Structure 1
Amino acid sequence: MELQESIEIRRMQKRDISAVYEIECICFRSPWSKLSLLSELRNDVACYLVLTVDDRIVGYGGMWTLYDEAHVTNIAVLPAYRRRGFAKKMLLSLMAWAIQRGAEKMTLEVRETNAGAQQLYAGLGFLQQGRRPRYYDDTGEAALLLWNENIQATVASCGKMW
């Protein structure tokens, strides 16, 4: 008999900074500092969420909401927990939060070589609207600028599956 995992997405709190910083260090070549993460918690336009599996933080996501737009700053899931739909759940949760704050559309940047993330974003209605050459300092790699012009429709189309 297989035990059911307890999965929760909730607002990030100050006590979560160390676990989120660990995820940053594992997932990104140029991780944000603990101080940067803490300052985002104090930012009135920011919303940061953590995803827990059996009370362990295994992923997080953040965004800024300004007027009718939301900008995703980061989404990360620990490697051992990838390919299970957690990044999708996180992005849909960010969309739901953005809608509550009055956003109608969402934007994000993704590395040009990150095919897996690009596939996830395309499946959630994001379309490439631009390219930023040499965007990432660590590699000089370009970023693709993606937009979803109707996040409410995206959330509605995903129903209760997330």
Structure 2
Amino acid sequence: MATEAREQFDVAVEPMRLRDLGDILKIERLSFPTPWSRYAFLSELLENDRAYYLVARAFPVGQPRPRRARPVGYAGVWLVLDEGHVTNVAVHPDFRGYGIGRTLMEAVEDLVREKGGKRMTLEVRRTNLVAQTLYRSLGYKSAGVRRGYYRDNNEDAFIMWKDL
């Protein structure tokens, strides 16, 4: 039986820019039942001085990085006192399974550490086993449940924490 070869990618992570929003909104719509609006992202990028957003740009291994590689994923975090609170993480469906989510989470953790953060927290859907597996592999531990946290279907969220 033939197996399909999966292309491998180099990934560059950098701060999200306003010009990335069109691509980010596409990823958002493909990833979440209740996607954030353009306004929500604009507010985070322009008005929230505690918010930091990163994008992942992927390009084929061994190829020079394109001058304007499109974002294939993103992650956001709020830094409040010495705690990083992950607001969202998403990877375009065509680029899932390549470790881009892990790369983004590691970059967010590095950013929080560099800014003096000591702990990280996040919420994850009870049914999102892929994300839970990723977070556990990065050292996050369940610390409680937020009942009915997700408005689209009243699903519970697990609260997870990690010491940096």
TM-score where L is the length of structure 2: 0.87
Q: Which of 14, 18, 24 is residue 10 of structure 1 equivalent to?
A: 14
Secondary structure at 1:36's aligned position in 2?
Answer: helix
Q: Which runs of 5 or more structure 1 residues have no equivalent in the other structure? A: 152-162
Q: Measure, in 1, the Cα distance between the counterparts of 2:106 and 2:162.
A: 12
Please, which runs of 5 or more residues in structure 2 have no aligned partner?
1-5, 60-68
**Match of residue 75 from structure 2:** 61
Tell me by how many angstroms 1:4 deviates.
Answer: 6.7
SS at match of 2:155: coil
Residue 92 of structure 2 corresponds to 78
Give the count of matched residue pairs: 149
Shift of 1:141: 0.5
Paired position in structure 1 for 2:63 = none
Query: Residue in 2 aligned with 1:48?
Result: 53
Task: Report the Cα distance in structure 1 between the residues aligned to 2:142 and 2:34, rounded to whole angstroms.
Answer: 24
Deviation at 1:5, TM superposition (A): 3.8
Alignment of 1:145 onto 2:159: yes
Relative to its length, the structure with more helix (as a share) is 1
Aligned residues with identical type, % of pairs: 40
CA distance in 1, matches of 2:139, 2:149: 23
**Alignment CA distance shift 1:107-1:4 (3 Å):** closer
Query: What secondary structure is seen at the aligned counterpart in 2 of 1:84?
Result: coil
More strand by share: 2
Give the SS at the match of 2:34.
coil
* Maintained 8 Å contact 2:143/2:159: yes
After superposition, the Cα gap between the structure-2 partners of 1:53 and 1:132, relative to the gap in structure 1 and judged at 3 Å, is same
Alignment of 1:114-129 (within 5 A): 114-129=128-143
Normalising by structure 1, what TM-score?
0.88
Q: Which has the larger radius of gyration?
A: 2
Offset at residue 3 of structure 1 (A): 8.4
**1:23 alignment counterpart:** 27
Q: Against the structure 1 CA distance between its residues 83 and 3, is the aligned structure 2 distance closer, same or farther, given a 3 Å change threshold?
A: closer
**Whole-Å separation in 2 of the counterparts to 1:140 and 1:115:** 17
Q: Note the alpha carbon deviations across 1:116-144, whole angstroms, 9 max, x for none.
A: 10000000110000101111011110000
CA distance in structure 2 between the partners assigned to 1:102 and 1:40 by the alignment: 21
Deviation at 1:101, TM superposition (A): 1.1
